[in-house]
Amino acid sequence: MTKLTTNDSGEFVRSGNRFDDRITAGGASGWPVEPGRYRLVVSLACPWASRAVLVRRLLGLEGAISMGIADPIQDERSWRFTLDPDGRDPVLGIHYLAEAYAAADPSYDGGVSVPAIVDVPSGRLVTNDYPQLTLDLSTEWREHHRPGAPDLYPLEWRDEIDELNELIFMDVNNGVYKAGFASSQEAYERAHDALFARLDWLSERLATRRYLVGDHLTEADVRLFTTLVRFDPVYHGHFKCNRHKLAELPVLWAYARDLYQTPGFAGTVNFDHIKRHYYQVLDQLNPSRIVPAGPDLSGWQEPHHREVLGGTPFGEDGTPPPDVSDLG
């Protein structure tokens, strides 16, 4: 559960990631890449976790890394496995993700977040470092990618991707939270204005290019998409990010639809989980816990016409991911 921590100016302050071990191909980290050993725990409501769900799908890592899905509604112990029989994750055998955190550090008393990768044999949390996690799926797990998988973090584009990722995180991914969780008018307006200034900047960039970097999908597109897909259902109203809806920003709306209609994307999006989580868990913002009926989601399937800008989603020699279903 996101903690609503603000500073003296009323600005939302995001907590750091306490567990940042890495799983590496050579195993120098102490956690070697090993198909079947690890379990990715996610919530389909969470944008940070949805990055990992999407990257895993695009790269075809379903057979190498199993996945557990937490209930979008948390209780006082945070993420729970009440979607599974007997309320237990069928692989880890635990009721709450917090149990894996405790196995890693019995003294830990901080927040429990997703995505999280758990070592199945020991039941210990390995990492909740969501920015690094998806990069490692692209690089350290390369030997286990499906044939035709896109290179989401090409070596020659990494500096540009890293720079964009930082800007998008600061003003958009985390920017919507800074607006929604601000505890002063001034802090809210700063976050709101920075968010829409960055969205305008992104619209200008994407007006003449299909993807954020290069000529195919990269990590930068994944990170922007998981915020955009939640914008109208949640952030516009619930977080007061309401200068415009996404559907009122022509370039970004077409870009988001292009990604949504790309094989692998739509199947990782669960609007029901998204809306119920935000509106029923963050009761500081919505004490009634009423979930809005809208918006109309049918527009996500409307033609986007962005193929005229060139580029191919998976690269010149890439192929779409298979139509697999392990999202419950």
Q: Catalytic residues, which ones?
A: 46, 177
**Is 48 among the annotated ligand-binding positions?**
no
In contact, 52 and 133? CB cutoff 8 Å: yes
CA gap 216, 324 in Å, rounded: 22
Please report, for the chain, how many H helices and E strands are present, in that order. 10, 4
Cis peptide before 106 (omega within 30 of 0): no
Sheet containing 66-69, strands listed edge to edge, beginning at the edge strand earlier in sequence: 66-69, 38-42, 116-119, 124-127
What is Dmax (Cα atoms) for the chain? 55
In contact, 219 and 152? CB cutoff 8 Å: yes
DSSP per-residue string spanning 35-48: TTSEEEEE-TT-HH
Q: Which two tokens stand for residue 31?
A: 């956690």
CA gap 146, 65 in Å, rounded: 13
* DSSP letter, residue 116: E
In contact, 279 and 237? CB cutoff 8 Å: no
Known binding-site residues for glutathione equal 79
